[in-house]
């Protein structure tokens, strides 16, 4: 019997799956819907495209349900050295992409993920008073973790043959214009300079420098309790501030730009570069996700600007009651958890779902 | 980790359950209160800092910050131990703190997150575990406090006026004298756990006699008119503080004599004033620390540690002693520091009364440091196989 259907088998769905498994659900009780069985495939493609070598978050940025033992402990065990753990305690441990992907593979094998995955695309979720129908499966609880709805390329550039998105495979021309001011843009600056290109940074605003996109306190009830009490306009304003593009401070980012001298410059407008890289992230808003848009429209869900309004535990109030739960994970769940598009965010949504399931079981 | 206030306190109390239980066990095994007192201080200091400082200053606390915060808490705890006069041995106390800190770190970094998946997101709050742990800590401290209260000896007030002695105390009690309370004929202590406070004793063979008991405290007693010793202690570890002993005119008396207690805990004599008599404060075959006392006009020695005694003579003022100011004698080991010995008089004819400020004699070892020795015929000396060193 399927108790939970997870729509979307990317890292958000995978992390949620691990949490549900830890919460006592068997692999056979969870159905994951995605055409791609490798949970890290999409993410790994994007990371490779921007040449990302290290994870931005530290050791708890992994898919295990508990923050301990994290990747630092894993690497320490593997290398027989305490250095990763000490670096993690000092907040200076950023695992490599390779380490992270290897861990995902290990978890995938260990957790029965492939047993739960159904390789199909979910176009719609049918709602019954007691359950949901997803891809021919009836389940009382559904977690929608469809991820980012698509790459964001400014409309005026969509037909421009010079344009490539940062998350698409690309090389570097002799002169490259990078649009954006977040981590992907910063990575492109550094990589293009390293490839010998001249780089022009075009940005609407000056980038914010912080270690994580969403500051740490927003990952905990310390800030979340207040966040959940805000009225929709205030909450939307907070989210816009928190989601402003940023990249970490540090010499790793600053030195290559300083060394480049005239090869790196900032301009306000797009110019005649040979290549234009849009490091402009993803499309924002549930409207860009056909599944969520259909749910919101058909069931008249409460929305505010780009967001579906959620309860603090990431569930959709109009489709959740004593018998069933429909919850969102990943970027679509920012209304409940500002850092929802992180692995911690996916686990947050899964724990919320788990609490509802366990509450009902008791 | 970004703690909520409740999360900080719950995490702290839950991490202290185990150390507190160990402290209870240690206290019971040692029959001493210091482990529990230390644990109580750990709880108090930690929770106070959580409430007043950490929650306000640390919106996010990286793992490494636990180290400086631990050192801060240790410093505050040691200051409080000193300020409250708790008698905790330094090394075991440090080990206890270090163990408690290590347990807290282990639980905070690994145990709690594994036990409760939402630990970090909940800001350190532990739900039921937090409530139960908090209750357990409060229950343990309350039980210990209750037991301490229950064990407090009954207080007996001695009213103002003269009470004919000798007064024999043969049960555990606190004898507290009202202003003007006088016992004539001496006090004899024959029970463990006796405290005598603010009582004046006049006369008696010995002013106050304590023999083969334990945990005796004399605080603020005044003794005069006795025949032999002002305070006579045998086979007992005592704490004597703020006493006044008058042996003027009694050439052969001793102010305080602590003897044959080498197998007991250390005795302490602090802040006492002894005037007259043959010896002001003397120990035989005992471990003692004699600190911040004032001894004057004795006819043989001011302060004496003798017959395989061992201990500290520190911060005392010895004036106008005849013979020797401070003596370390007969296979004793004495640390003699920061004393002031002035105006010792010499009695011709013997080395033992040669007017030494400090004399180490008869196979004894004396270590001198920062003493002020003035107007003594001989500032210091070592005789008969003895050694005198200074730091």
What are the pLDDT tens digits along chain B (391 aa)? 899 999 999 999 999 999 999 999 999 999 889 999 999 999 999 999 999 999 999 999 988 999 999 999 999 999 999 898 887 888 999 999 999 999 999 999 999 999 999 999 999 999 999 999 999 999 999 999 999 888 888 999 999 999 998 999 999 999 999 999 999 999 999 999 999 999 999 999 999 999 999 989 999 999 999 999 999 999 999 999 999 999 998 888 999 999 999 999 899 999 999 999 999 999 999 999 999 999 999 999 999 999 999 999 999 999 999 999 999 999 999 999 999 999 999 988 888 889 999 999 999 999 999 999 999 999 999 999 999 998 6
Strand bridging mode A275-278 / A264-267: unpaired
Q: How far apart are CA B385 and CA B363, in angstroms?
A: 5
Domain architecture of chain A: domains with CATH: 4-150+283-361 (3.50.50.60), 155-207+245-278 (3.50.50.60)
pLDDT at A274 over 70: yes
Please answer whether residues B378 and B352 qualify as being in contact, where contact means their C-beta atoms are separated by less than 8 angstroms: no
Contact check, Cβ <8 Å, B2/A90: no
pLDDT tens across A43-84, in order?
A: 999 899 888 888 877 656 899 999 888 899 999 999 999 999
Q: Does B75 touch chain A (CB under 8 A)?
A: no
pLDDT for res A311 = 97
Query: What residues in B contact A224, CB-CB < 8 Å?
Result: 121
Instruction: Say which DSSP state A282 is in.
Output: B
ipTM (interface pTM) = 0.87
Q: Does A61 touch chain B (CB under 8 A)?
A: no
Helices (H), chain B: 5-30, 34-49, 55-57, 66-84, 90-106, 112-115, 128-151
Full DSSP string of B337-361: ES-EEE--B--TT-GGGS-EEEEEE
pLDDT for res A59 = 57
CA trace torsion B163, B169, B175, B180 (10° rounding): 20
Closest alpha carbon within chain B to A349: B118
Query: What residues in A contact B105, CB-CB < 8 Å?
Result: none
Q: Does B85 touch chain A (CB under 8 A)?
A: no
Query: What residues in A contact B63, CB-CB < 8 Å?
Result: 88-91
CA–CA distances in Å: residue B28 to residues A333, B34, B81, B282: 54, 11, 20, 34
| Mean pLDDT score, A220-233 | 95
Q: Does B121 touch chain A (CB under 8 A)?
A: yes
Domain architecture of chain B: domains with CATH: 5-151 (no CATH), 155-390 (2.160.20)
Contact check, Cβ <8 Å, B60/A347: no
User: Residue for token digits 């805990």?
Assistant: B265
User: Residue for token digits 């214009």?
Assistant: A177
Please answer whether residues A175 and A196 qualify as being in contact, where contact means their C-beta atoms are separated by less than 8 angstroms: no
The residue among A85, A215, A220, A342 with the most chain B CBs within 10 A of its CB, best to mutate, is A220
pLDDT for res A268 = 84
pLDDT tens across A135-151, in order?
A: 889 999 999 999 899 99
Q: Does B1 touch chain A (CB under 8 A)?
A: yes
CA distance A45 to chain B (A): 30
Q: How far apart are CA B309 and CA B329, in angstroms?
A: 8
Contact check, Cβ <8 Å, B121/A220: yes
Which residues share a beta bridge with B232?
B209, B257
Contact check, Cβ <8 Å, B117/A88: no
Query: What residues in A contact B106, CB-CB < 8 Å?
Result: none
Query: What residues in A contact B123, CB-CB < 8 Å?
Result: 220-222
């Amino acid at each position: 019997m399927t108790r939970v259907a997870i729509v979307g088998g990317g890292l958000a769905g995978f992390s949620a799956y691990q949490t549900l498994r830890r919460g006592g659900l068997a692999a056979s009780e969870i159905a994951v819907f995605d055409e791609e069985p490798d949970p890290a495939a999409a993410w790994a493609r994007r990371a490779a495209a921007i040449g990302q070598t290290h994870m931005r978050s530290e050791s708890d940025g992994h898919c295990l349900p508990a923050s301990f033992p994290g990747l630092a402990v894993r690497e320490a065990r593997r290398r027989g050295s305490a250095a990763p753990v000490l670096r993690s305690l000092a907040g200076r441990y950023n695992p490599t992409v390779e380490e992270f992907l290897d861990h995902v593979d290990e978890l995938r094998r260990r957790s029965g993920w492939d047993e739960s995955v159904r390789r199909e695309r979910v176009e719609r979720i049918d709602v019954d008073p007691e359950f949901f129908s997803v891809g021919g499966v009836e389940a009382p609880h559904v977690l929608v973790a469809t991820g980012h709805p698509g790459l964001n390329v400014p409309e005026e550039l969509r037909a421009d043959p010079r344009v490539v998105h940062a998350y698409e495979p690309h090389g570097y021309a002799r002169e490259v214009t990078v649009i954006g001011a977040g981590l992907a843009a910063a990575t492109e600056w550094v990589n293009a300079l390293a490839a010998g290109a001249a780089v022009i940074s075009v940005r609407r605003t000056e980038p914010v420098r912080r270690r994580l996109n969403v500051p740490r306190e927003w990952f905990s009830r310390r800030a979340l309790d207040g966040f959940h009490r805000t009225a929709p306009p205030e909450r939307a304003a907070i989210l816009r501030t928190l989601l402003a593009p940023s990249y970490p401070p540090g010499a790793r980012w600053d030195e290559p730009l300083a060394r480049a001298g005239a090869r790196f410059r900032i301009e306000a407008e797009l110019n005649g570069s040979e290549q234009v890289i849009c490091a402009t992230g993803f499309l924002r808003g549930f409207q860009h996700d056909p599944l969520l848009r259909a749910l919101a429209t058909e069931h008249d869900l409460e929305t505010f600007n780009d967001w579906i309004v959620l309860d603090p535990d990431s569930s959709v109030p109009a489709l959740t009651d004593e018998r069933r739960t429909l919850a969102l994970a990943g970027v679509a769940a920012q209304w409940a958890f500002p850092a929802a598009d992180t692995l911690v965010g996916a686990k947050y949504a899964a724990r919320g779902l788990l609490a509802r399931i366990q509450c009902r079981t008791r | 980790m970004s703690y909520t206030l409740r999360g900080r306190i719950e995490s702290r109390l839950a991490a202290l359950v185990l150390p507190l239980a160990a402290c209870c066990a240690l206290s019971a095994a040692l029959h001493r209160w210091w482990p529990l007192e230390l644990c109580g201080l750990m709880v108090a200091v930690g929770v106070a800092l959580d409430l007043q400082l950490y929650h306000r200053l640390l919106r996010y606390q990286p793992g490494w910050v636990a180290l400086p915060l631990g050192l801060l808490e240790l410093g505050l705890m040691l200051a409080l131990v000193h300020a409250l006069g708790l008698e905790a041995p330094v090394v075991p106390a440090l080990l206890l703190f270090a163990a408690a800190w290590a347990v807290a770190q282990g639980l905070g970094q690994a145990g709690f997150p594994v036990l409760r998946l939402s630990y970090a997101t909940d800001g350190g709050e532990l739900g039921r575990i937090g409530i139960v742990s908090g209750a357990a800590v409060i229950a343990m401290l309350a039980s210990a406090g209750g037991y301490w209260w229950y064990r407090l000896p009954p207080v007996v007030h001695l009213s103002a006026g003269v009470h004919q002695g000798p007064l024999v105390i043969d049960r555990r009690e606190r004898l507290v004298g009202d202003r003007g309370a006088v016992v004539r004929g001496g006090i004899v202590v024959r029970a463990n756990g006796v405290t005598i406070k603010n009582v004046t004793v006049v006369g008696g063979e010995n002013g106050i006699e304590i023999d083969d008991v334990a945990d005796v405290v004399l605080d603020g007693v005044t003794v005069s008119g006795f025949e032999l010793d002002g305070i006579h202690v045998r086979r007992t570890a005592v704490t004597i503080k703020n006493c006044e002993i008058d042996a003027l005119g009694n050439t052969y008396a001793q102010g305080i004599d602590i003897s044959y207690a080498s197998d007991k805990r250390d005795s302490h004599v602090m802040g006492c004033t002894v005037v007259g008599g043959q010896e002001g404060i003397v120990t035989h075959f005992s471990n003692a620390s004699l600190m911040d006392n004032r001894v004057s006009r004795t006819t043989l020695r001011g302060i004496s540690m003798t017959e395989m005694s061992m201990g500290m003579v520190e911060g005392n003022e010895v004036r106008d002693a005849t013979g020797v100011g401070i003596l370390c004698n007969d296979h004793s080991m004495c640390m003699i520091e920061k004393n002031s010995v002035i105006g010792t008089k010499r009695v011709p004819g013997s080395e033992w009364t040669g007017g030494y400020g400090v004399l180490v004699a008869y196979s004894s070892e004396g270590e001198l440091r920062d003493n002020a020795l003035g107007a003594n015929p001989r500032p210091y000396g070592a005789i008969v196989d003895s050694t005198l060193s200074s730091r």
